[in-house]
Structures are given as C-alpha cells and as structure tokens.
A and B are shown apart, each in its own frame.
Chain A
Amino acid sequence: EVQLVQSGAELKKPGQSLKISCKGSGYDFSTYWIAWVRQIPGKGLEWMGIIYPGDSAIIYNPSFQGHVTMSADKSIDTAYLQWNSLKASDTAIYYCARHTTGEGVTVYLDLWGQGSLVTVSS
C-alpha cells in the first residue's frame, strides 16, 4: 500500500527540541518531493517547505526558514522535521505529504500522512 506514516503525538515544553518523522512505503520514496504542512488548531493549511529525499535538496517557505530544519534519510525512506527550540506558537498538527510531478516540476499533493500533533506548553 502506498502510504506515509508519521510519528505520534508529542507534548513538549517551550525551549525543548523535537524531531518528528514521516516514513514512506509502497513507492520509490527517493524520487518524490515531500512537503511539510502546518495546521494550527482552528486554522488553515500552511506549506512549510519541501525536501527531495534522493539528494536532500530543500526549498523552505521563507516564513519558516531558520526556525525548523528538514532532513531525510533515503536509506530508510524517512523524512524529518526538527525544531531546536520550540515555542508555544509551534503547537499545531504537522502533516507530511507527497508532491507528485507533472510538466517537469513539483505539482499538487497526492498523498498525505496522518498528521503529528505537537503541543508545546509549560
């Protein structure tokens, strides 16, 4: 089955670090860009950026650059999203999703993970 499976819910304190994961299966993980999408409770979807697991090329949304780090390990078909110092405002559901390719570029998101709830509270 083609799927993305994310790590579970996390409860952290402000200032702590965190790394969440997204594991692909059923397709060639290395050859599709993976996006991270944030959903703050009660709010809409925000595209944080993408990583290409094949060579770890990354394109960040400038709104998120510097606060999160994307990485990938193609040997285990897994992408990661990492924070070095969490803030309460990072409380959200984080989805990973696969960008399919079309017309030679990354296009729409055709496969989504189940989401990882990150709660940051003192």
Chain B
Amino acid sequence: DIVMTQSPDSLDVSLGERATINCKSSQSVLYSSNNKNYLAWYQHRPGQTPKLLLSWASARESGVPDRFSGSGSGTDFTLTISSLQAEDVAIYYCHQYFETPYTFGQGTKVGIK
C-alpha cells in the first residue's frame, strides 16, 4: 500500500496568516504517461462531511476560494492556505488515487492562534 504521511499533525495560525501542510507518499503518484499526479486534498470541518478542495495535486474545485492552492509532484506535495479565515478551521487530508487500495494521510488539524 502507498503510505501517505502528513506534517505537521496540527498547527495553529493567526487569522490572515499563511498555513502550510505537507504530504509525502511512500512511492510516486505521478503517472508518467499523462504527467498527472494522482493526489487530492479534502477539508473536513467539525460535524460536516469531507469536502474536495483540490484534485490532480493542484486543480481547485469549483467554488473553492483561491486562497487554497496545491503544489508538488511525485512524492512531495503541499497544501497552502494563503490567508487563514475562521471558516478554514478543519482537518485536512491528502489522498492518493494512483493505485488501490487508495489511501489517505493521517490528517492535519488547522486551528486559530
């Protein structure tokens, strides 16, 4: 199985400041034939359903604010929230869909400092 490891496990950021979450896969999730990274990011707010933020490592879903961005390739990926808002308090998960069993990172809890 591909193991997804996120860092840090939690972080507190001041409103308006940048939050950065890292995700590392135990093997590459870059498919060479189409040069796409099979990596998604989800936001899971307390008491709500997980929500897809980004697919293909950096493609923002419709309706997702542009303060959310994704980068990286191969085995190392980053989710950045450029200016943290109160409604961004949540647990964030990376997810590889390169091969089954698909796997998630352990989650990063983002709070307000």
Contact = CB atoms under 8 A, between A and B. Distances in A.
Nearest to A61: B101
B105 interface: yes
A114 B42 contact: no
Contacts of B102: 35, 47
Contacts of A50: 100
Contact of A49 (B34, B91, B101, B106): B101
Interface stretch (A7-15, A16-24, A67-75, A103-111): A103-111
A109 B49 contact: no
A115 B49 contact: yes
Interface residues of A, number: 27
A interface SS class = strand
A44 B104 contact: yes
Nearest to B52: A110
A109 B101 contact: no
Nearest to B105: A44
15 contacts: A35-B102, A44-B91, A44-B93, A44-B106, A45-B104, A45-B107, A49-B101, A62-B101, A63-B101, A95-B49, A97-B50, A108-B55, A109-B40, A109-B95, A110-B61
Closest 6 CB pairs of A and B: A61-B101, A108-B40, A112-B49, A44-B107, A45-B104, A47-B102
